[in-house]
Amino acid sequence: MASFKKDSCCNDCNLKMNMFCFLSDEQLHKVNESRFEVEFNPDEVIFKQGGPLTHIVCITKGLAKIKLEDDSNRALLLSIAKPTNMVGGPGFLTDYRHHFSVVALEKTVACFIEANMFKEIMSDNTTFSMEMISYLNKRIMMHYERLTSLTHKHMHGRIADALLYLADAIYTSDSFTTTLSRQDLADYSAMTKESAIRILKEFKDEGVISFSGDQFEILNKQSLVNISEKG
Amino acid sequence: MASFKKDSCCNDCNLKMNMFCFLSDEQLHKVNESRFEVEFNPDEVIFKQGGPLTHIVCITKGLAKIKLEDDSNRALLLSIAKPTNMVGGPGFLTDYRHHFSVVALEKTVACFIEANMFKEIMSDNTTFSMEMISYLNKRIMMHYERLTSLTHKHMHGRIADALLYLADAIYTSDSFTTTLSRQDLADYSAMTKESAIRILKEFKDEGVISFSGDQFEILNKQSLVNISEKG
DNA sequence: ATATTTGATTGACAAATATCAACGCCCCAT
DNA sequence: ATGGGGCGTTGATATTTGTCAATCAAATAT
Protein backbone atom coordinates (compact mmCIF):
# COMPACT_ATOMS: atom_id res chain seq x y z
CA MET A 1 0.00 0.00 0.00
CA ALA A 2 1.41 3.35 -1.04
CA SER A 3 1.90 5.98 1.63
CA PHE A 4 0.22 9.34 1.51
CA LYS A 5 2.57 11.82 -0.07
CA LYS A 6 3.13 15.45 0.53
CA ASP A 7 2.53 16.32 -3.08
CA SER A 8 0.29 19.00 -4.48
CA CYS A 9 -2.38 20.59 -2.35
CA CYS A 10 -5.93 20.76 -3.49
CA ASN A 11 -8.69 23.25 -2.96
CA ASP A 12 -11.26 20.91 -4.37
CA CYS A 13 -14.55 20.85 -2.55
CA ASN A 14 -13.97 17.20 -1.83
CA LEU A 15 -11.05 17.37 0.52
CA LYS A 16 -8.94 14.97 -1.46
CA MET A 17 -6.57 13.16 0.77
CA ASN A 18 -3.70 15.33 -0.35
CA MET A 19 -5.06 17.73 2.19
CA PHE A 20 -2.52 15.71 4.10
CA CYS A 21 0.10 17.96 2.58
CA PHE A 22 -0.57 20.19 5.57
CA LEU A 23 0.82 17.63 7.96
CA SER A 24 4.30 17.70 9.39
CA ASP A 25 6.56 14.80 8.46
CA GLU A 26 6.10 13.39 11.91
CA GLN A 27 2.31 13.63 11.76
CA LEU A 28 2.28 12.08 8.32
CA HIS A 29 4.36 9.23 9.59
CA LYS A 30 1.97 8.60 12.45
CA VAL A 31 -0.99 8.51 10.10
CA ASN A 32 0.72 6.14 7.72
CA GLU A 33 1.66 3.84 10.60
CA SER A 34 -1.84 3.32 11.89
CA ARG A 35 -4.07 3.50 8.85
CA PHE A 36 -5.33 0.38 7.09
CA GLU A 37 -7.35 -0.51 4.04
CA VAL A 38 -10.43 -2.67 3.58
CA GLU A 39 -11.97 -3.82 0.33
CA PHE A 40 -15.74 -3.81 0.07
CA ASN A 41 -18.00 -5.60 -2.40
CA PRO A 42 -20.87 -3.86 -4.16
CA ASP A 43 -23.77 -3.08 -1.79
CA GLU A 44 -21.67 -3.67 1.30
CA VAL A 45 -22.03 -1.13 4.07
CA ILE A 46 -18.87 0.79 4.93
CA PHE A 47 -20.49 2.95 7.61
CA LYS A 48 -23.95 2.51 9.02
CA GLN A 49 -26.03 5.49 10.09
CA GLY A 50 -26.40 5.44 13.86
CA GLY A 51 -23.21 3.42 14.38
CA PRO A 52 -20.17 4.65 16.27
CA LEU A 53 -17.79 7.01 14.51
CA THR A 54 -14.36 5.68 15.41
CA HIS A 55 -12.63 6.19 12.09
CA ILE A 56 -12.61 8.57 9.18
CA VAL A 57 -12.24 6.85 5.84
CA CYS A 58 -10.77 7.81 2.53
CA ILE A 59 -12.15 6.09 -0.56
CA THR A 60 -9.03 5.00 -2.43
CA LYS A 61 -10.66 2.90 -5.14
CA GLY A 62 -14.19 2.46 -6.41
CA LEU A 63 -17.32 4.46 -5.63
CA ALA A 64 -19.61 4.76 -2.61
CA LYS A 65 -22.99 6.34 -2.06
CA ILE A 66 -23.70 8.55 0.93
CA LYS A 67 -27.20 7.84 2.06
CA LEU A 68 -29.43 9.56 4.59
CA GLU A 69 -31.95 7.13 6.03
CA ASP A 70 -35.07 8.31 7.79
CA ASP A 71 -37.49 6.60 10.16
CA SER A 72 -39.62 5.24 7.36
CA ASN A 73 -37.91 3.22 4.69
CA ARG A 74 -37.07 6.05 2.35
CA ALA A 75 -33.53 7.15 1.72
CA LEU A 76 -31.98 10.29 0.32
CA LEU A 77 -28.80 9.85 -1.63
CA LEU A 78 -26.84 12.88 -0.53
CA SER A 79 -23.75 12.50 -2.69
CA ILE A 80 -21.26 10.04 -4.07
CA ALA A 81 -17.71 9.60 -2.83
CA LYS A 82 -14.95 8.69 -5.24
CA PRO A 83 -11.16 8.40 -4.94
CA THR A 84 -9.72 10.09 -3.07
CA ASN A 85 -12.52 11.75 -1.15
CA MET A 86 -12.58 11.82 2.60
CA VAL A 87 -15.74 10.54 4.25
CA GLY A 88 -16.09 11.62 7.81
CA GLY A 89 -19.37 12.92 9.02
CA PRO A 90 -20.83 15.43 11.41
CA GLY A 91 -20.36 13.08 14.33
CA PHE A 92 -16.71 14.10 14.49
CA LEU A 93 -16.09 16.28 17.57
CA THR A 94 -19.78 16.02 18.46
CA ASP A 95 -21.59 12.79 19.32
CA TYR A 96 -19.20 10.40 17.56
CA ARG A 97 -22.00 8.62 15.75
CA HIS A 98 -22.59 8.28 12.04
CA HIS A 99 -25.36 10.42 10.63
CA PHE A 100 -25.45 8.76 7.24
CA SER A 101 -24.66 5.37 5.78
CA VAL A 102 -21.94 4.81 3.22
CA VAL A 103 -22.50 1.93 0.81
CA ALA A 104 -20.12 0.61 -1.84
CA LEU A 105 -21.46 0.96 -5.38
CA GLU A 106 -18.82 -1.36 -6.82
CA LYS A 107 -15.67 -3.05 -5.57
CA THR A 108 -14.41 -0.28 -3.35
CA VAL A 109 -11.34 0.17 -1.19
CA ALA A 110 -11.61 2.34 1.90
CA CYS A 111 -8.67 3.47 4.00
CA PHE A 112 -9.46 3.80 7.70
CA ILE A 113 -7.85 6.42 9.91
CA GLU A 114 -8.62 6.75 13.60
CA ALA A 115 -10.80 9.72 14.40
CA ASN A 116 -8.69 10.31 17.49
CA MET A 117 -5.65 10.76 15.31
CA PHE A 118 -7.49 13.41 13.34
CA LYS A 119 -8.30 15.13 16.58
CA GLU A 120 -4.73 14.97 17.81
CA ILE A 121 -3.37 16.33 14.58
CA MET A 122 -5.82 19.20 14.67
CA SER A 123 -5.00 20.11 18.20
CA ASP A 124 -1.48 21.00 17.18
CA ASN A 125 -1.79 21.86 13.52
CA THR A 126 -3.98 24.87 13.02
CA THR A 127 -3.53 24.91 9.24
CA PHE A 128 -5.05 21.47 9.12
CA SER A 129 -7.96 22.55 11.34
CA MET A 130 -8.63 25.55 9.18
CA GLU A 131 -8.50 23.43 6.07
CA MET A 132 -11.10 21.22 7.71
CA ILE A 133 -13.30 24.25 8.40
CA SER A 134 -12.96 25.26 4.80
CA TYR A 135 -13.92 21.76 3.71
CA LEU A 136 -16.96 21.70 5.99
CA ASN A 137 -18.06 25.07 4.64
CA LYS A 138 -17.88 23.74 1.10
CA ARG A 139 -19.96 20.76 2.12
CA ILE A 140 -22.49 23.17 3.58
CA MET A 141 -22.64 25.09 0.31
CA MET A 142 -23.37 21.80 -1.38
CA HIS A 143 -26.18 21.15 1.09
CA TYR A 144 -27.68 24.54 0.26
CA GLU A 145 -27.71 23.68 -3.42
CA ARG A 146 -29.28 20.33 -2.70
CA LEU A 147 -31.87 21.92 -0.43
CA THR A 148 -32.99 24.48 -3.00
CA SER A 149 -32.81 22.00 -5.87
CA LEU A 150 -34.81 19.33 -4.07
CA THR A 151 -37.43 21.65 -2.62
CA HIS A 152 -37.92 24.20 -5.41
CA LYS A 153 -37.39 22.29 -8.64
CA HIS A 154 -39.78 19.99 -10.44
CA MET A 155 -38.79 16.45 -11.22
CA HIS A 156 -37.37 17.35 -14.62
CA GLY A 157 -34.97 19.85 -13.10
CA ARG A 158 -33.96 17.42 -10.37
CA ILE A 159 -33.20 14.61 -12.80
CA ALA A 160 -31.26 17.06 -14.95
CA ASP A 161 -29.26 17.97 -11.84
CA ALA A 162 -28.58 14.32 -11.12
CA LEU A 163 -27.33 13.68 -14.65
CA LEU A 164 -25.14 16.78 -14.60
CA TYR A 165 -23.74 15.75 -11.23
CA LEU A 166 -22.82 12.31 -12.48
CA ALA A 167 -21.29 13.59 -15.71
CA ASP A 168 -19.42 16.56 -14.26
CA ALA A 169 -18.49 15.59 -10.73
CA ILE A 170 -18.37 11.80 -10.70
CA TYR A 171 -17.53 10.37 -14.10
CA THR A 172 -16.09 13.59 -15.60
CA SER A 173 -17.45 12.62 -18.99
CA ASP A 174 -20.72 13.20 -20.79
CA SER A 175 -20.72 9.54 -21.61
CA PHE A 176 -20.58 7.08 -18.76
CA THR A 177 -21.58 3.67 -17.51
CA THR A 178 -22.95 3.77 -14.00
CA THR A 179 -23.43 1.27 -11.22
CA LEU A 180 -26.25 3.37 -9.80
CA SER A 181 -29.63 1.69 -10.06
CA ARG A 182 -32.73 3.55 -11.15
CA GLN A 183 -33.73 3.51 -7.51
CA ASP A 184 -30.45 5.21 -6.62
CA LEU A 185 -31.08 7.90 -9.21
CA ALA A 186 -34.55 8.35 -7.77
CA ASP A 187 -33.14 8.54 -4.23
CA TYR A 188 -30.66 11.18 -5.32
CA SER A 189 -33.48 13.20 -6.87
CA ALA A 190 -36.03 12.61 -4.11
CA MET A 191 -38.75 10.96 -6.18
CA THR A 192 -40.01 7.46 -6.88
CA LYS A 193 -38.18 5.07 -9.16
CA GLU A 194 -41.12 5.11 -11.58
CA SER A 195 -41.04 8.88 -11.89
CA ALA A 196 -37.29 8.88 -12.47
CA ILE A 197 -37.67 6.29 -15.22
CA ARG A 198 -40.44 8.23 -16.94
CA ILE A 199 -38.42 11.41 -17.00
CA LEU A 200 -35.30 9.69 -18.25
CA LYS A 201 -37.43 8.32 -21.05
CA GLU A 202 -38.79 11.77 -21.87
CA PHE A 203 -35.24 13.12 -22.06
CA LYS A 204 -34.33 10.25 -24.36
CA ASP A 205 -37.38 10.83 -26.60
CA GLU A 206 -36.45 14.51 -26.84
CA GLY A 207 -32.90 13.64 -27.80
CA VAL A 208 -31.38 15.29 -24.73
CA ILE A 209 -29.72 12.08 -23.59
CA SER A 210 -29.45 8.51 -24.76
CA PHE A 211 -29.13 5.43 -22.64
CA SER A 212 -29.39 1.71 -22.73
CA GLY A 213 -29.33 -0.11 -19.43
CA ASP A 214 -26.62 1.49 -17.35
CA GLN A 215 -24.85 3.26 -20.23
CA PHE A 216 -25.69 6.93 -20.46
CA GLU A 217 -24.71 9.70 -22.79
CA ILE A 218 -25.59 13.36 -22.61
CA LEU A 219 -26.34 14.48 -26.16
CA ASN A 220 -27.43 18.05 -25.52
CA LYS A 221 -25.83 19.40 -22.40
CA GLN A 222 -27.03 22.96 -22.82
CA SER A 223 -30.56 21.70 -22.93
CA LEU A 224 -29.99 19.80 -19.71
CA VAL A 225 -28.58 22.93 -18.10
CA ASN A 226 -31.62 24.87 -19.24
CA ILE A 227 -33.95 22.28 -17.77
CA SER A 228 -32.03 22.43 -14.51
CA GLU A 229 -32.24 26.22 -14.40
CA LYS A 230 -35.89 26.47 -15.35
CA GLY A 231 -36.63 24.15 -12.43
CA MET B 1 -22.41 47.96 25.48
CA ALA B 2 -21.40 45.04 27.64
CA SER B 3 -18.23 43.13 26.79
CA PHE B 4 -18.22 39.45 26.06
CA LYS B 5 -17.41 37.61 29.23
CA LYS B 6 -15.52 34.44 29.87
CA ASP B 7 -18.41 32.85 31.72
CA SER B 8 -19.91 29.44 31.23
CA CYS B 9 -19.25 27.47 28.10
CA CYS B 10 -22.00 26.03 26.05
CA ASN B 11 -22.32 22.95 23.92
CA ASP B 12 -25.50 24.19 22.37
CA CYS B 13 -25.92 23.51 18.68
CA ASN B 14 -26.06 27.21 18.07
CA LEU B 15 -22.57 28.32 18.95
CA LYS B 16 -23.74 30.85 21.48
CA MET B 17 -21.32 33.66 21.76
CA ASN B 18 -20.00 32.31 25.04
CA MET B 19 -17.98 30.05 22.81
CA PHE B 20 -15.75 33.03 23.37
CA CYS B 21 -14.84 31.48 26.68
CA PHE B 22 -12.20 29.63 24.71
CA LEU B 23 -10.34 32.85 23.99
CA SER B 24 -7.31 34.04 25.87
CA ASP B 25 -7.69 37.31 27.77
CA GLU B 26 -5.66 39.03 25.10
CA GLN B 27 -7.76 37.65 22.27
CA LEU B 28 -10.94 38.54 24.07
CA HIS B 29 -9.68 42.07 24.51
CA LYS B 30 -8.93 42.39 20.82
CA VAL B 31 -12.40 41.20 19.88
CA ASN B 32 -14.07 43.56 22.31
CA GLU B 33 -12.00 46.47 20.96
CA SER B 34 -13.05 46.10 17.35
CA ARG B 35 -16.56 44.77 17.44
CA PHE B 36 -19.56 47.05 17.03
CA GLU B 37 -23.33 46.81 17.13
CA VAL B 38 -26.01 47.84 14.65
CA GLU B 39 -29.74 47.95 15.20
CA PHE B 40 -31.99 46.76 12.37
CA ASN B 41 -35.67 47.37 11.81
CA PRO B 42 -38.07 44.58 10.86
CA ASP B 43 -37.52 43.35 7.30
CA GLU B 44 -34.14 45.03 7.00
CA VAL B 45 -31.39 42.96 5.47
CA ILE B 46 -28.43 42.23 7.73
CA PHE B 47 -26.52 40.15 5.18
CA LYS B 48 -27.40 39.75 1.53
CA GLN B 49 -26.77 36.50 -0.28
CA GLY B 50 -24.02 37.01 -2.82
CA GLY B 51 -22.52 39.95 -0.94
CA PRO B 52 -19.02 39.99 0.52
CA LEU B 53 -18.41 38.21 3.81
CA THR B 54 -16.27 40.63 5.78
CA HIS B 55 -17.81 40.16 9.20
CA ILE B 56 -19.37 37.48 11.32
CA VAL B 57 -22.33 38.68 13.34
CA CYS B 58 -23.84 37.73 16.61
CA ILE B 59 -27.54 38.41 17.10
CA THR B 60 -27.67 40.08 20.50
CA LYS B 61 -31.32 41.16 20.52
CA GLY B 62 -34.35 40.30 18.42
CA LEU B 63 -34.81 37.60 15.80
CA ALA B 64 -33.56 37.11 12.25
CA LYS B 65 -34.45 34.68 9.49
CA ILE B 66 -31.81 32.86 7.48
CA LYS B 67 -33.02 32.66 3.93
CA LEU B 68 -31.69 30.76 0.93
CA GLU B 69 -32.64 32.52 -2.28
CA ASP B 70 -32.57 30.73 -5.61
CA ASP B 71 -32.49 32.00 -9.19
CA SER B 72 -36.26 32.20 -9.42
CA ASN B 73 -38.05 34.20 -6.79
CA ARG B 74 -38.59 31.44 -4.32
CA ALA B 75 -36.87 31.36 -0.99
CA LEU B 76 -36.21 28.65 1.56
CA LEU B 77 -36.17 29.69 5.16
CA LEU B 78 -33.33 27.60 6.53
CA SER B 79 -33.50 28.55 10.19
CA ILE B 80 -34.01 31.40 12.61
CA ALA B 81 -31.26 33.08 14.61
CA LYS B 82 -31.94 34.38 18.09
CA PRO B 83 -29.78 35.84 20.86
CA THR B 84 -27.02 34.99 21.15
CA ASN B 85 -26.48 32.91 18.03
CA MET B 86 -23.54 33.44 15.76
CA VAL B 87 -24.33 33.92 12.10
CA GLY B 88 -21.38 33.36 9.84
CA GLY B 89 -21.81 31.33 6.76
CA PRO B 90 -19.96 28.90 4.54
CA GLY B 91 -18.12 31.72 2.80
CA PHE B 92 -15.70 31.87 5.74
CA LEU B 93 -12.29 30.47 4.74
CA THR B 94 -13.64 29.75 1.25
CA ASP B 95 -14.92 32.38 -1.18
CA TYR B 96 -15.76 35.05 1.40
CA ARG B 97 -19.20 35.62 -0.01
CA HIS B 98 -22.55 35.19 1.69
CA HIS B 99 -24.51 32.13 0.66
CA PHE B 100 -27.72 33.14 2.37
CA SER B 101 -29.47 36.32 3.35
CA VAL B 102 -30.19 37.27 6.93
CA VAL B 103 -33.27 39.42 7.50
CA ALA B 104 -34.48 40.95 10.74
CA LEU B 105 -37.88 39.67 11.85
CA GLU B 106 -38.30 42.42 14.43
CA LYS B 107 -36.13 45.17 15.93
CA THR B 108 -32.86 43.29 16.02
CA VAL B 109 -29.40 44.13 17.22
CA ALA B 110 -26.44 42.52 15.50
CA CYS B 111 -22.87 42.67 16.72
CA PHE B 112 -20.28 42.70 13.95
CA ILE B 113 -16.88 41.05 14.30
CA GLU B 114 -14.29 41.10 11.52
CA ALA B 115 -13.93 37.77 9.79
CA ASN B 116 -10.17 38.34 9.69
CA MET B 117 -10.11 38.49 13.45
CA PHE B 118 -11.84 35.12 13.60
CA LYS B 119 -9.23 33.76 11.28
CA GLU B 120 -6.38 35.18 13.33
CA ILE B 121 -7.77 33.80 16.54
CA MET B 122 -8.17 30.38 15.00
CA SER B 123 -4.68 30.31 13.67
CA ASP B 124 -3.30 30.37 17.18
CA ASN B 125 -6.11 28.90 19.26
CA THR B 126 -6.77 25.34 18.26
CA THR B 127 -9.47 24.87 20.91
CA PHE B 128 -11.42 27.63 19.24
CA SER B 129 -10.94 26.06 15.79
CA MET B 130 -12.07 22.71 17.03
CA GLU B 131 -15.08 24.26 18.67
CA MET B 132 -15.87 25.80 15.30
CA ILE B 133 -15.60 22.40 13.63
CA SER B 134 -17.95 20.99 16.21
CA TYR B 135 -20.37 23.83 15.56
CA LEU B 136 -20.25 23.32 11.79
CA ASN B 137 -20.87 19.61 12.24
CA LYS B 138 -23.96 20.36 14.29
CA ARG B 139 -25.19 22.69 11.58
CA ILE B 140 -24.67 19.88 9.10
CA MET B 141 -26.75 17.53 11.24
CA MET B 142 -29.47 20.14 11.16
CA HIS B 143 -29.22 20.28 7.36
CA TYR B 144 -29.65 16.51 7.19
CA GLU B 145 -32.83 16.75 9.22
CA ARG B 146 -34.11 19.53 7.02
CA LEU B 147 -33.25 17.60 3.89
CA THR B 148 -35.10 14.48 4.92
CA SER B 149 -38.02 16.40 6.37
CA LEU B 150 -38.47 18.59 3.32
CA THR B 151 -38.01 15.85 0.73
CA HIS B 152 -39.72 12.89 2.38
CA LYS B 153 -42.56 14.34 4.41
CA HIS B 154 -45.95 15.51 3.22
CA MET B 155 -47.10 19.02 3.93
CA HIS B 156 -48.77 18.06 7.21
CA GLY B 157 -45.53 16.66 8.57
CA ARG B 158 -43.56 19.67 7.41
CA ILE B 159 -45.93 22.17 9.03
CA ALA B 160 -45.85 20.09 12.20
CA ASP B 161 -42.04 20.31 12.08
CA ALA B 162 -42.21 24.06 11.65
CA LEU B 163 -44.52 24.49 14.62
CA LEU B 164 -42.38 22.24 16.80
CA TYR B 165 -39.27 24.14 15.76
CA LEU B 166 -40.83 27.46 16.70
CA ALA B 167 -42.17 26.20 20.01
CA ASP B 168 -39.12 24.18 21.09
CA ALA B 169 -36.13 25.95 19.59
CA ILE B 170 -37.17 29.55 19.08
CA TYR B 171 -39.84 30.61 21.56
CA THR B 172 -39.28 27.77 24.08
CA SER B 173 -42.97 27.74 24.85
CA ASP B 174 -45.97 25.94 23.41
CA SER B 175 -47.75 29.25 23.35
CA PHE B 176 -46.14 32.06 21.41
CA THR B 177 -46.72 35.17 19.36
CA THR B 178 -44.65 35.22 16.22
CA THR B 179 -43.44 37.87 13.81
CA LEU B 180 -43.21 35.27 11.06
CA SER B 181 -45.74 35.80 8.30
CA ARG B 182 -47.71 32.95 6.75
CA GLN B 183 -45.36 33.28 3.79
CA ASP B 184 -42.39 32.78 6.13
CA LEU B 185 -43.97 29.67 7.58
CA ALA B 186 -44.54 28.44 4.03
CA ASP B 187 -40.94 29.22 3.08
CA TYR B 188 -39.69 27.32 6.10
CA SER B 189 -41.80 24.33 5.09
CA ALA B 190 -41.17 24.55 1.35
CA MET B 191 -44.75 24.99 0.19
CA THR B 192 -47.03 27.79 -0.93
CA LYS B 193 -48.57 30.23 1.48
CA GLU B 194 -52.04 28.95 0.58
CA SER B 195 -51.11 25.38 1.41
CA ALA B 196 -49.56 26.40 4.73
CA ILE B 197 -52.73 28.29 5.64
CA ARG B 198 -54.97 25.36 4.75
CA ILE B 199 -52.98 22.95 6.89
CA LEU B 200 -52.83 25.31 9.84
CA LYS B 201 -56.58 25.53 9.60
CA GLU B 202 -56.92 21.76 9.51
CA PHE B 203 -54.79 21.49 12.65
CA LYS B 204 -56.97 24.10 14.29
CA ASP B 205 -60.19 22.31 13.29
CA GLU B 206 -58.79 19.07 14.72
CA GLY B 207 -57.91 20.79 17.99
CA VAL B 208 -54.17 20.18 17.64
CA ILE B 209 -53.37 23.86 17.77
CA SER B 210 -55.20 27.12 18.15
CA PHE B 211 -54.27 30.45 16.68
CA SER B 212 -55.60 33.86 15.96
CA GLY B 213 -53.50 36.10 13.79
CA ASP B 214 -49.94 35.74 14.93
CA GLN B 215 -50.74 34.16 18.30
CA PHE B 216 -50.27 30.42 18.33
CA GLU B 217 -50.75 27.73 20.92
CA ILE B 218 -49.97 24.05 20.67
CA LEU B 219 -52.86 22.21 22.33
CA ASN B 220 -51.84 18.62 21.64
CA LYS B 221 -48.12 18.31 21.27
CA GLN B 222 -48.03 14.54 21.10
CA SER B 223 -50.39 14.67 18.17
CA LEU B 224 -48.10 17.15 16.43
CA VAL B 225 -45.14 14.86 17.06
CA ASN B 226 -47.09 11.95 15.61
CA ILE B 227 -47.95 13.92 12.52
CA SER B 228 -44.31 14.86 12.13
CA GLU B 229 -43.19 11.25 12.43
CA LYS B 230 -45.82 9.81 10.16
CA GLY B 231 -44.59 12.21 7.49
C1' DA C 1 -64.30 59.14 8.05
C1' DT C 2 -62.98 57.04 3.72
C1' DA C 3 -59.86 55.13 0.33
C1' DT C 4 -55.94 52.23 -0.21
C1' DT C 5 -52.89 48.86 0.72
C1' DT C 6 -51.22 44.58 2.48
C1' DG C 7 -51.57 40.12 4.34
C1' DA C 8 -54.79 36.27 5.36
C1' DT C 9 -58.21 33.24 3.71
C1' DT C 10 -61.13 30.43 0.75
C1' DG C 11 -62.70 27.82 -3.29
C1' DA C 12 -62.37 25.90 -7.85
C1' DC C 13 -59.41 23.96 -10.73
C1' DA C 14 -55.02 22.36 -12.97
C1' DA C 15 -50.62 20.36 -12.67
C1' DA C 16 -47.29 17.44 -10.55
C1' DT C 17 -46.29 13.28 -8.40
C1' DA C 18 -47.10 8.84 -6.12
C1' DT C 19 -49.25 4.39 -6.01
C1' DC C 20 -50.55 0.08 -7.71
C1' DA C 21 -50.62 -3.53 -10.80
C1' DA C 22 -48.90 -5.78 -14.59
C1' DC C 23 -45.43 -7.22 -17.63
C1' DG C 24 -40.84 -7.92 -19.76
C1' DC C 25 -36.12 -8.98 -19.38
C1' DC C 26 -32.00 -10.84 -17.77
C1' DC C 27 -29.34 -13.41 -14.66
C1' DC C 28 -28.73 -17.17 -11.80
C1' DA C 29 -29.51 -21.55 -9.31
C1' DT C 30 -31.38 -25.69 -9.73
C1' DA D 1 -33.65 -25.81 -20.08
C1' DT D 2 -36.35 -23.83 -16.76
C1' DG D 3 -38.29 -21.45 -13.00
C1' DG D 4 -37.68 -17.92 -9.76
C1' DG D 5 -36.14 -13.23 -8.23
C1' DG D 6 -34.80 -8.78 -8.96
C1' DC D 7 -34.71 -4.81 -11.64
C1' DG D 8 -36.61 -1.95 -15.29
C1' DT D 9 -40.64 -0.35 -17.71
C1' DT D 10 -45.35 0.98 -18.69
C1' DG D 11 -50.18 2.35 -18.03
C1' DA D 12 -54.14 3.54 -15.28
C1' DT D 13 -55.48 5.86 -11.41
C1' DA D 14 -55.42 8.31 -6.93
C1' DT D 15 -53.34 11.67 -4.12
C1' DT D 16 -50.87 15.66 -3.23
C1' DT D 17 -49.78 20.17 -4.19
C1' DG D 18 -49.76 24.47 -6.79
C1' DT D 19 -52.16 28.19 -9.35
C1' DC D 20 -55.41 31.62 -10.01
C1' DA D 21 -59.01 34.53 -8.76
C1' DA D 22 -61.94 36.42 -5.44
C1' DT D 23 -62.97 37.96 -0.90
C1' DC D 24 -62.04 39.53 3.73
C1' DA D 25 -59.91 42.04 7.42
C1' DA D 26 -56.79 44.84 9.56
C1' DA D 27 -53.66 48.60 9.12
C1' DT D 28 -52.36 52.87 7.01
C1' DA D 29 -52.75 56.94 4.17
C1' DT D 30 -55.55 60.74 2.45
Per-residue pLDDT tens over the stretch B62-83: 999 999 999 888 999 999 999 9
Tell me, yes or no, if B38 comes closer than 8 A to chain A by beta carbon: no
pLDDT computed for residue B28 by the predictor: 85
Is 2.40.240.10 the CATH number for B153-230?
A: no
**Fold equal for B17-126 and B153-230:** no
Is the domain spanning A17-125 CATH 2.40.100.10? The answer is: no
Q: Do A122 and B130 touch (CB under 8 A)?
A: yes
d(CA A147, CA A118): 29
Per-residue confidence (pLDDT) for residue A18, from 0 to 100: 62
> Distance from residue B90 (CA) to nucleotide C21 (C1'), in Å?
47
Ranges of residues in chain A with a pLDDT under 50 are 1-2, 5-15
pLDDT higher than threshold 60 for residue B229? yes
DSSP A4: P
A 125-144 near B (Cβ less than 8 A): 125-127, 129-130, 132-134, 136-141, 143-144
Work out the burial of residue B118: count CB atoms within 10 Å of its CB; fewer than 13 is exposed, 13-18 middle, 19 or more buried: buried
Could B93 and A231 be called an inter-chain contact, meaning their C-beta atoms sit closer than 8 Å?
no
Sheet holding B175-177, edge to edge: B175-177, B215-218, B209-212
Can you name the CATH fold of B17-126? Jelly Rolls (2.60.120)
**Segment B181-218, tens digit of pLDDT:** 999 999 999 999 999 999 999 999 999 999 999 999 99
Contact criterion met (CB < 8 Å) for A123 and B126: yes
Q: Answer whether the bond into residue A84 is a cis peptide, omega within 30°.
A: yes
The domain limits of chain B are: 17-126, 153-230
Q: Is B130 helix (H, G, I), strand (E, B) or coil?
A: helix
Nearest CA in chain A to B123: A126
Instruction: Quick: pLDDT tens for B122-150.
Output: 998 999 999 999 999 999 999 999 999 99
User: Cβ of A74 under 8 Å from any chain B Cβ?
Assistant: yes
